[in-house]
């Protein structure tokens, strides 16, 4: 039989093991992010430096909101929604927690982008997001096969019937609104006016559907179609255009006449995340210029890291300069925060479009 002292020592040792085991189990970061934002070497370096393992789930804006809404913000410790998809879902569903800005190294961020993103992700005086990767939606065009494509409406040209593509997602609604002389962002505050505008855009896209090869979904699907010539022009991200341009000089990313659509993907902490400390460590680690340059090279886009651009390879710099002369940069339409309820309006239009009615 154990003595009282031996029993106490055994209990103490068991408690210590339980605490150690719990601490060890907690040292995991569950990350909800985009493809190409987590290069293997970056993850390995983070784990080596911190001892924290990274569990990666790849997603997109719609899925991030859906997953976090279904769990009331549980299941992940860090997410990367676009800045325009934070304040609306937060006000409606409460899926994020306010950031503790004192735990972030603000000098690692481009100051103007940090302040703008903080402003765009503020709800009730609290900040919910900081910037990471930024880029644009525009046109990826085989300039030899489709030399006249210069704006979104050109994807509907019957001369290119069966050889164009776009995603049946909200960016297409926004893009075609601008291309047809409307300003969807100015109508964000008026649900009735926005609904009427989206109905017009939906009618345009329904007509345009006759010309498209398919509504692309996965990135690889579109890139392979452009490589093979099955598709010669599409609405897509700049990163895809620049990747293909590295393989074929004829394929270029073009900023449309009506304006490219600018986005910023952020870092945001889910409401019921279990490891905030690991989340802040990951954010600060990723914003270090030498790390951000690696992520930018993987993603094919630029980052909000102060100084990372100086470490980028020359090819991407050259591609950016060709796609975005000053006038094109000045014409970028940056996504503002999406008010609650707007995506429901858009969803009905997109559902009809995909259904063919």
Q: By mean pLDDT, which of 18-32, 83-97, 148-162, 250-264 is the weakest?
A: 18-32
- pLDDT of residue 8 exceeding 50, the answer is no
**CA 15 from centre of chain:** 43
- DSSP summary character for residue 82: B
Measured distance CA(62)–CA(27) in Å, rounded: 28
Mention every residue, 6+ apart, whose C-beta is less than 8 A from residue 44: none
Three-state secondary structure call for residue 93: helix
Summarised one tens digit per residue, pLDDT across range 30-59 is 999 999 999 999 999 999 999 999 999 999
CA dist 250 → 141, 159, 241, 316, 318 (Å): 8, 19, 11, 16, 15
Cite the beta strand spans of 64-129 per DSSP E: 78-79, 122-123, 126-127
Summarised one tens digit per residue, pLDDT across range 243-263 is 999 999 999 999 999 999 999
**Record: fold of 2-134+263-326:** D-Maltodextrin-Binding Protein; domain 2 (3.40.190)
2-134+263-326 and 136-261+333-355 have identical folds = yes
Residues 134, 113 contacting (CB under 8 angstroms): yes
pLDDT of residue 200: 97
Residues 99, 269 contacting (CB under 8 angstroms): yes
- CATH superfamily of this structure's domain 136-261+333-355: Periplasmic binding protein-like II (3.40.190.10)
pLDDT of residue 78: 98
What are the sequence ranges of the domains in the chain? 2-134+263-326, 136-261+333-355
* Pairing relationship of beta strands 212-215 and 233-237 according to DSSP bridges: unpaired
Is pLDDT larger for residue 338 or for residue 212? 212
pLDDT of residue 24: 46
């Amino acid at each position: 039989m154990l003595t009282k002292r031996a029993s106490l020592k055994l209990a103490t040792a068991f408690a210590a093991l339980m605490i150690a085991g719990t601490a060890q189990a907690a040292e995991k970061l569950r990350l909800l992010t985009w493809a190409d934002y987590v290069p293997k070497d970056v993850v390995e370096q983070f784990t080596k430096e911190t001892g924290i393992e990274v569990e990666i789930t790849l997603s997109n804006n719609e899925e991030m909101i859906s997953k976090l809404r279904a769990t009331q913000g549980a299941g992940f410790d860090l997410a990367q929604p676009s800045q325009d998809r934070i304040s609306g879902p937060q006000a409606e569903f409460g899926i994020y927690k306010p950031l503790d800005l004192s735990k972030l190294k603000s000098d690692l961020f481009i100051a103007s982008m940090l302040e703008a993103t903080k402003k765009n992700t503020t709800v009730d005086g609290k900040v919910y997001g900081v910037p990471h990767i930024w880029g644009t939606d525009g046109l990826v065009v085989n300039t030899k096969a489709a030399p006249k494509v210069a704006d979104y409406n050109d994807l509907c040209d019957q001369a290119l019937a069966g050889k164009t593509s776009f995603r049946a997602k909200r960016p297409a609604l926004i893009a075609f609104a601008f291309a047809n002389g409307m300003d969807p962002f100015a109508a964000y505050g008026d649900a009735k006016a926005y609904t009427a505008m989206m109905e017009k855009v939906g009618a345009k896209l329904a007509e345009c559907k006759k010309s498209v090869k398919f509504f692309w979904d996965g990135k690889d699907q579109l890139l392979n179609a452009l490589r093979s010539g099955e598709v010669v022009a599409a609405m897509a991200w700049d990163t895809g255009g620049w990747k293909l341009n590295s393989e074929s000089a004829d394929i270029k990313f073009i900023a449309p006449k009506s304006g490219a659509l600018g986005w910023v993907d952020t870092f945001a902490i889910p409401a019921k995340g279990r490891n905030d400390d690991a989340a802040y460590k990951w954010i600060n680690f990723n914003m270090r210029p030498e790390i951000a340059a690696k992520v930018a090279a993987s993603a094919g886009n630029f980052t909000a890291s102060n100084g990372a651009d100086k470490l980028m390879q020359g090819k991407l710099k050259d591609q950016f300069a060709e796609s975005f002369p000053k006038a094109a940069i000045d014409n970028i339409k940056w996504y503002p925060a999406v008010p609650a309820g707007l995506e429901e309006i858009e969803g009905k239009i997109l559902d009809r479009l995909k259904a063919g009615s």
